[in-house]
Amino acid sequence: MVILPIRKPFFRSLLFITIFILLFNHFEASRPRKRDYQKNYYYAIELEENSQISPREVAVLLKISYEGQIGALDNHYLFSSSKEMTHLFTRSLNSDFDLSGENNDRVLLEYRSLKEKRKQSPSSLEKRSYEIIDKIVSVEKQKLKKRHKRVPPPIPKPKNKDNNDPDDIGAAYGIHDPGFKYQWHLINPLQTDHHINVTGVWKEGITGKGVIAAIVDDGLDLDSEDLKDNFFAAGSYDFNDHTPLPKPRLVDDNHGTRCAGEIAAVKNDVCGVGVAPDAKVAGIRILSGEISDVDEAEALNYGFQENHIYSCSWGPPDDGQSAEAPKGLILKAMLKGIKDGRGGKGSLFVFASGNGGANDDNCNFDGYTNSLYTITVGAVDRLFAHPYYAEKCSALLVTTYSSGSGSYIYTTDIGPHNCTSLHGGTSAAAPIAAGVYALVLQIRPDLTWRDMQYLQLMSAVPFNLKEPEWDRNAAGRLFSHKYGYGLLDAYRIVQNAKIFKNLGPQVFLEMPIIKVNKQIPMDTKGIVNSVQVTQSELDDAKFGRLEHVTVTVNIQHTRRGDILVDLISPNGIISHLGTPRMYDEHRGGLSNWTFMSVKHWDENPVGKWTIQVKDTQNPEFWGTFNDWRIKFWGEQKNLTGTLATTTDDSVKTTETTSSEATITESPKGHKTTTTSATEEASSSNKENINSLEDESSKSNTWIIAILVMGFAFIFAGLAYFTKKHFWDANGRYEFSALQSSDATNIGEDSIPLTRGNKQFMTSRELFDAFGDSSDEEEETTQVVFENSYMDKYMNEDEKVESETINEKNIDDGDNAGGSGGEDLRQGESINNRS
């Protein structure tokens, strides 16, 4: 018998090809399938967990096509049905049919019919059919809707252009971008302390390396010289046109590119730089057309192990008459993100607070910004004035710079070398915050979504203290419904992050629903109702430190815009949950609407919590306060006295269940923090390839093993393609019809928007967040910078004002006054935590 020699190169090539095919198919399967909303209806179907029911069996039973799993949501699947078939079926029932009505939908009618048969006459169905019906939790027909960019409102142009900016302002930081001198939010030579205080962070080499921010918007110009080197294709997708690359395609598709430039524009000779110039940006395009809940849910979880931050400068309309919150698939996607995103640490959802201030809007009526799972960012202009467009609410965590007082944000625009000097609104504020959080995650990738919120509120800088909005909460921190806990300060939050101790797991205490059922009187007192919280109830819930407070109300009213809702804590701290809105004519009141407040963070929950519902607006309209319930969210209390532990290979730190910081002494006696950035992915794939390419002598056993592996992969591939072909041929039902820009021309003083002389034209809840903790106790000390406004950063008027700010009645002052926190550099004295 002749044994033919085994040719290693041949089998090596065969193995590589097989692996490539399988990996390619896996990659393609992980992407959402292209959807044609013009030809098909789409349905989201949830199956019971561990139901052992295949989605393909559901497709056969309901005569629909299986499209795949919905993003990262377990047990949720997408199906489609031809519109043509649905319309023909409906016409056969009723000639005057309504295409948009769910009562006439073929799939929903089929599902309801099968459920009714299962209930009334089980014997009329095959056993497997009613088993499938029993395991279907819900069937939801998808409807298209539009999300709105928080684009900058028009602001009067400055009368005179400032010419005092030094040409070499960025030289000390290795920045030669020609537009850097116009980026006053990064370094401000006029109002010298009115900027985000980031240059000291850059000097430490903290520039966002290893962090990826996804811009959920209208696309991202990946060919821009300012962005292409930092573009992260693997975390990007276009949910409007269902293509892999989120390229801007419409005339006004410039919003996402501008936001991306604020975060991660590279250092070069084009435009300016981003807050985190070495971070990566992904583009997730959803704002360039109508999308379904499935699209939005998949977008918010897209690449959520690689994408760390989701920058969202959009939401429901800022018209002062909308009240819309994520629910169903979208809410589940947000919960999935904060529970499982970033390896279990939670995706960071950063939302712009909204541009409806001129419409009397309030961000507590936007369920995205009003969510405890998001960081809500407001806006202030370069003069510390509150822009007329900026919304206020009790869910507002922090404020940073944007357009106003004649100035805008200078950033990247559509085109290889294009820039714009006209970006603004809260749309511009949220990406600045996202860029700062990228800096923080570079040195502390172990921080959870709750850690970042707590770190942010304790690092924010109050300002304009003469304004009566400021109030000191029970924990001693200043809070304003206009500004949250104050200005975002990059240097402070990064320094605090170095020694921040991870929070323990999240817990909650939900009080029973309180029935009120009283008509709201037309007076200044309204209806007052209270609930008592005891220490024993907190102990039973293992409740330690208070974080968020949510209040869910049911209020019937013939004009929703007349309703005022306040929450008063046992310490007399008031959160304005719902404020009157002059344009809100909705006659349905508030049905199961949940308000959220961050004002009570660290307050002792024990005592009487009071809700006050008032109506003092229009006597011809009336309402009834039906019921309410309050829920407290916080950090788990460690009742055993021992420390919980967690293992994180990316950061080696010692953590307690408290968020108190720990500083270790270096050999030289200096206070240092031991952290390390996340290492890049391991080289296991390279090692596998190198081992295959090693031309050194191998044993016959190794050669045979490769041969067997190759045949195994080939068999798997053939099985996959055979199954896929069989299903495509037999598993789908196909039906046939029966025969029958902003222009930048702002005058001679306009800012150049590109190189040279050429000018260019220029959008159920989570109960445990699995917070990190530790098994080893170290000496605790204070966080470097706390949110008490230090005398060092006040002018004389504000020092006097700060002594009386705890009083409830604060004298009116000049809103434009006040100075901001100056640059904080290493070597300055640290401030103790209150």
pLDDT of residue 358: 95
Please give the class, per CATH, of domain 509-630: mainly beta
pLDDT of residue 37: 83
pLDDT of residue 105: 86
Of 236, 427, 480, 659, catalytic: 427
- Return the sign of the alpha-carbon dihedral for residues 660, 664, 669, 673: negative
**Tokens representing 417?**
């070398």
pLDDT of residue 87: 65
- Phi then psi for residue 32, to 5 deg, are -60, 140
Query: Which residue do the tokens 């202030």 mark?
Result: 380
In sequence order, what are the residues at sequence separation of 6 or more whose Cβ sits closer than 8 angstroms to the Cβ of residue 46? 75, 76, 77, 136, 137, 138
Query: Which residue do the tokens 């504000």 mark?
Result: 798
Q: Where are the domains of the chain?
A: 37-141, 167-501+764-782+792-804, 509-630
Query: Which residue do the tokens 């013939």 mark?
Result: 558
pLDDT digits (tens, 9 = 90+) for 70-114: 988 999 999 999 887 666 665 555 544 444 555 678 888 888 888
Tell me if residue 427 is catalytic: yes
pLDDT digits (tens, 9 = 90+) for 784-822: 455 433 333 344 444 434 444 444 433 333 333 333 333
pLDDT of residue 565: 98
Domains 167-501+764-782+792-804 and 509-630 share a fold: no
> In the chain, helix, strand, coil percent, each to 5?
30, 20, 50
pLDDT of residue 685: 36
Torsion on CA atoms 429, 470, 538, 505, rounded to nearest 10: 20
DSSP E strand boundaries for 154-236: 212-217
Of 217, 366, 489, 584, catalytic: 217
Tell me if residue 176 is catalytic: no
CA distances from 155 to 183, 220, 382, 419, 750 (A): 18, 25, 13, 19, 15
pLDDT digits (tens, 9 = 90+) for 12-37: 666 666 666 655 555 444 567 778 88
* Number of alpha carbons in the 13 Å side-chain half-sphere of residue 523: 6
CA distances from 254 to 212, 219, 405, 413, 804 (A): 20, 8, 23, 6, 46
Burial class for 654, CB neighbours closer than 10 Å (0-12, 13-18, 19+): middle
Residues of the chain with pLDDT under 70: 1-31, 85-103, 123-125, 149-169, 639-834
What CATH superfamily classification does 167-501+764-782+792-804 receive?
Peptidase S8/S53 domain (3.40.50.200)
Of 185, 194, 195, 255, catalytic: 255
pTM of the predicted model, to two decimals?
A: 0.72
